[in-house]
Amino acid sequence: MTPLEEDLKKALARVEPPDGFTERLAARMGAMPARKRPPVYWRWAAAAAAAAVLFSGVSYEHERQARGEAAKEKVLLAMRITSSKLQQAQHQIEEVEGH
Amino acid sequence: MLTAIPIRVTTDAFAEAVETHKAMVYSIGWHFLHDRQAAEEMAQEVFLQLHRNWGAIQSPEHLLFWLRRTATHRAIDAGRKRKAQAEVALEEADEPTMLERVHDTLLSSYLQRMVGTLPEKQRSAILLRYQEDMDVEEIAEVLEMNASTVKTHIARGLEFLRGKVSRRLRKI
Amino acid sequence: MKQPFLKLIMVGLSLSCLCAAEEFKIPGLDKMAARAKETVEVTLDQSMLQLASGFLSKDDPDEAKVKKLVAKLKGIYVRSFEFSKEGEYSASDVEIFRTQLKQPGWSRIVGVKSVDGENTEIYVLKSGEQLGGLVVLAAEPKEFTFVHIDGPINPEDLSELSGHMGIPEIVKRKPKTEKKEE
């Protein structure tokens, strides 16, 4: 790294937001729902951490793979739900029409 | 019957995400916009958007990627809205005053201002490279451009900054 | 209503209004979620849909159809709440969703109430020759579902999905009389 790049890293170091940032954010959001059970993805994260591949180039691709597969499953779920509700509407129409 | 997937926004998980990443998100806004109020507003909007989209987050790594990408794009949007003000700042930054030369001995402060005058794509690439320590491929994914374009932006940004720094040293 | 709902969707398409679709902002969702026994929440923006599309198989017929369907979409948003008993959500909770659908370009093309308390509404966003978006509100005594598909979509695409993925096939019925006008 050149001296300029080193200087840039120092110049662009992260800074904390002004005091009260979290409180102001919470005020904008209002009350959050009470916790009932831990989010599913933290369990996935625990499993990934146990594998200890977080800092390798291979892990980046695995993470992308996992994200893609999960997104695919969500798309399929959404399509199933939508089709189900459209079908429900059609059945209701048929009931009303006396078919 | 619907299959229930218990992906929910919980106070603990979301609050932890805010505490862990607020400095990163705010810093992208601050270094991009050089306006504390605008940076905070941008950062708050990012976390509000995260709250709405929490169900799409798959892992801590995905969360980090999502926040970096969203913060960068929102900073770019905010920067465009402030373009008129940025043009004034460009003039001021280009010709440091005597007071700045005398009192502004911290190169960091000068570099921060100079980064703030870069074109938005160069600015984004430089921020993600040197604030977030991301490699070119990671930056390409966040900025949705190819890696060679990212390299070009970083190279041009560094060339501009190198020129500014050397001119500043000649003036002192 | 005397025509199959697919025909109603086509009627909706014939009205011309070019309007941009945006993600709905639904206040009070968290309150509904807090009362629910189970929640299904799907939020997929354009980048996530593109990512998912790359993982949908061309070789699997169902996934290939979905892949084609989502190719131009901007987002898919599902919120489904299942409650432990009746009365856990109110008409005013549902009205919040309807208020969002009063934005320009949105039209309700199906509104059906059945005697056992199942109410289903379908809204479309008109965008030239295609739908620019689709919303389904399905309210049952112990379940409420909101689906928003944002982007160009053909109703036939959704109908084609039935019969697979464990969903019984939608039977397309021809009207008993020739071309009834709405």
Q: What is the average per-residue pLDDT within C74-89? A: 90
pLDDT given at position B170: 53
Closest CB to B7 among C30, C41, C45: C41
Q: Is A8 on the interface with C (CB under 8 A)?
A: no
| Residue B104 CB neighbours (<10 A) | 16
Closest CB to C149 among A69, A82, A84: A82
pLDDT given at position C102: 85
- Domain of residue C68 covers 11-161
| Residues of chain A contacting residue C173, judged by C-beta atoms under 8 Å apart | 94, 99
pLDDT tens-digit profile of A42-87?
Answer: 334 434 444 444 444 556 777 888 888 888 888 888 888 887 787 7
Residue burial B72-102, b: 16+ Cβ < 10 Å; e: rest: bebbbebbeeeeeebeeeeeebeebeeebee
- Look at the block and give the residue holding tokens 């059609």: A90
Q: What is the ipTM of this complex?
A: 0.76
Vertex A49, ends A43 and A50: CA angle to 5°? 95
Is position C173 within any domain?
no
pLDDT given at position A97: 57
Name the 3-class secondary structure at C135.
Answer: strand
Closest CB to C30 among B3, B9, B55: B9
Is position C38 within any domain?
yes
pLDDT given at position B141: 93
Contact between chains at B109 and A5 (C-beta distance less than 8 A):
no
Is position C6 within any domain?
no
| Residues of chain B contacting residue A14, judged by C-beta atoms under 8 Å apart | 23-24, 27, 131
pLDDT given at position B42: 94
The total domain count for chain C is 1
| Residues of chain B contacting residue A37, judged by C-beta atoms under 8 Å apart | 6, 8
Name the 3-class secondary structure at C166.
Answer: coil
pLDDT tens-digit profile of C139-156?
Answer: 988 889 999 999 987 656
Is position C167 within any domain?
no
CB pairs under 8 A between A and B: 135
**If residue B155 lies in a helix (H) or strand (E), which one and from where to where?**
helix B147-171
Closest CB to C42 among A34, A78, A90: A78
pLDDT given at position C165: 40
DSSP string, B47-69: HHHHHHTGGG--SHHHHHHHHHH
In the predicted model, residues of chain B with pLDDT beneath 70 are 1-11, 83-107, 167-172
Do C62 and C166 form a contact (C-beta atoms < 8 A)?
no
Dmax of chain A from CA atoms?
A: 81
Name the 3-class secondary structure at A18.
Answer: coil
| Residues of chain A contacting residue C80, judged by C-beta atoms under 8 Å apart | 81
The CA distance from C48 to the nearest CA of chain B, in Å, is 8
Q: Is A26 on the interface with C (CB under 8 A)?
A: no
pLDDT given at position C155: 58
pLDDT given at position C129: 65
Is position C84 within any domain?
yes
The CA distance from C135 to the nearest CA of chain B, in Å, is 18
Q: What's this model's pTM, rounded to 2 decimal places?
A: 0.44
pLDDT tens-digit profile of C100-138?
Answer: 888 888 888 778 887 777 888 888 887 766 678 888 899
Q: How far apart are CA A32 and CA A24, in angstroms?
A: 14
Name every residue whose Cβ is closer than 8 Å to that of residue B73 and which is 6 or more positions away in sequence: none
List the structure tokens of C153: 């979509």
Residue burial B106-131, b: 16+ Cβ < 10 Å; e: rest: ebeebbbbbbbbbebbbbbbbbbbbb
Is position C91 within any domain?
yes
Q: What is the average per-residue pLDDT within A27-52? A: 48
pLDDT tens-digit profile of C10-60?
Answer: 443 333 332 333 456 666 677 788 888 888 888 899 999 999 999 988 877
Is position C105 within any domain?
yes
pLDDT given at position A51: 47
Is position C3 within any domain?
no
Spatial strand order of the sheet with C130-140 comes to C38-45, C75-82, C143-153, C130-140, C119-127, C106-113
